[in-house]
Amino acid sequence: MARTGSLAHSFLVATDKPIYPEKWRTSLEDALKGIKFDSYIPAEGSRLSVDQLTDVFLFPEGSALVLAYPPITSTDAVRQNFVEVYEAPWTEQGDALTTFETELEANPADGQALSTLADGIPALTVQPRSKTDLEHANAAYLEFNLNGTYIQISGGDSLDDLVSIANELIQSAHAA
C-alpha cells in the first residue's frame, strides 16, 4: 500500500479506535511474522510500549501494519484521539525529502510543513485542528521514511507528542 497522503486522517469520522476490517486484527507476534518489510516497534521504556497496544492490524499479504495505542494527551476533541502507527514499505521514487517537498508544493495546506526528526530524517507534519479541515478537528499527523519503511503516526492534539514518538522509533532502530 502506498502513502495515503498527509491529510488522509482529517476526513475520517470521529472515532476512538481504528476502523479496519475485523479479519485484519491479529496479535503483534503474528503481525511481525506476516509483514514483508522491516517494522519498528517502540523500545521498552518509550512513550508507547508493547503492553499499551490496544489493537494490531495486518493488511493482506503483509503489505502494511497498524499499531493502535490509547490517547497520550488530548485537551479538545479531535476526530482521532488514539495514537496510530502505520507502517508499510516505502514505495515512492527517490528520497523522502524530495517527495515531501514536491507534495507540499503541489498541495499546499494550512498546518502542513516539513520538519526534521532525529538524525536529520525529514518528516511531513500536519498540525492538529488546521484551517484546511472544515471542522478544524483533524488530529496531529506526521509521516517519514525510516530505512525503507514508510511510517505514519497520527492521533491526538499534540504534534510534539508525535514527533517525540517518531524520535523514539528512530532511536529504537539504532538499538536493533
The residue type of 139 is: A
Mean confidence (pLDDT) of the chain: 84
At residue 3, the pLDDT reads: 45
Distance, in Å, from the CA atom of 50 to the CA atom of 126, rounded to the nearest integer, reads 26
What is the pLDDT averaged over residues 77-106? 89
Which letter, b or e, does each residue of 50-67 get, where b requires 16 or more Cβ atoms within 10 Å of its Cβ? eeebebbbbbeebbbbbb
pLDDT score for 15: 62
pLDDT value, residue 62: 94
**pLDDT recorded at residue 1:** 36
pLDDT confidence tier of residue 7, bands split at 50, 70 and 90: very low
* pLDDT above 90 (res 2): no
Q: What does the DSSP 8-state code read for residue 121?
A: -
Q: In the chain, what are the domain boundaries?
A: 16-149
pLDDT, tens digit (0-9, with 9 covering 90-100), for 148-163: 999 999 988 889 999 9
* pLDDT digit string, tens, across residues 63-76: 999 999 888 776 66
**pLDDT at residue 10 in the model:** 38
